[in-house]
Structure 1
Amino acid sequence: MKLFKMMLVAGVSVAVLSGCGANNNNATNSAATTAPTTEQTDAVTTASIVNQADAFTKAVSKDGNWIIAILNDVTIAQDVVVEGEFHDKGAADGDIYRKIALYAQDADHKVTANYTLTVPKLTVQSENLRVQGGTIKGDVYVEANGFNLHETSTIDGNLYFANEDVKATAGIEGKVTGATEVK
């Protein structure tokens, strides 16, 4: 049974991350589909696949990963800060980019599940953070340029921007149930 669960998690992990980028660079994609290990990993080139609050908090830290994918609903009791500079597909010369994936997908990139991240306050300090799929239940405070709420995502709470300049760089295609304003 334990082996089955490990294989299931590995399979879901590969499915979630196989469509997270549009670039088909095989070296990068193979790094992105590798599940995290207990060894020290290169935070610039690996993805973080999490299913617990402490793992999520660590993954979104400045020492975390460029993409964070959750495997189920996650509830975090304390405020969380998404910080650090990361590059698309892990390439140091790639565009600055970070992603929180709140969904699972199959090998054909069809979304098979959406998840909810429940957090009192999520503060975004990483530039060009994209939230895709699922729901963030709680307030989101954006302090960095380029925030993107994908059309398949929902913020079940308020969305606040640090100033008008930060708000002007955001792409809000998804749904926000509360206020969207500068605060």
Structure 2
Amino acid sequence: MTDKQLTEQEKALFAEAMKNVRPLKSSSKILPAIKPKLKNKVKVASTSQTSQIDQQYLPVDLETLALEDWVGIEDKISFYKAGLQHSVIKKLAQGKMPIQSRLDLHQLTVAEAIDQADAFLKNCQQQQIRSALIIHGKGKMSHKPILKNAINVWLRTHPAVLAFHTAQLKHGGSGAIYVLISQASSKVPNAELGCN
């Protein structure tokens, strides 16, 4: 609708409604997106509390990773343990499992990220959280997805991880992964998830 189509009464009403409105100041500053609050948040222990991480699957030595095994910024990553039903893997990859908790590893070193991720996964198991989102970032600031590669290699060896897959765009795309977490070893596997 253009100005010519408005009646004098409509113009007056609009002017009255807008009389105290001030234009926003122009700014080139980009504000970060607001993260949605989740019902279940996992408290991650501090680095000093998690220094006793099981050394059988640490540390990640990226120098031994062959050049052809490195994943790029936009590459998808995926892993699942044998015995997991195809329908569960598909549901995880499509982002159709509810995200019960999330961990953001942006701006951490590889050692800090692995330390935080280990504590996070253990806490998820203790709180019976089965599906989580880990945000590793794309590595654009370093022009190389170092953290993405480290998490990709390390999670494959973690006993709590049943599967992981690159997240859908709405959850971070190639800068995040969905993780399917096993139940604590004292419990019987959940038949609903198809774990053998």
Normalising by the residue count of structure 2, what TM-score does the alignment of the two structures yield? 0.27
More contact order relative to length (CA 8 Å, sep ≥ 6):
2
In terms of fraction of residues, the more helix-rich structure is 2
In terms of fraction of residues, the more strand-rich structure is 1
Q: Rg bigger for which structure?
A: 2
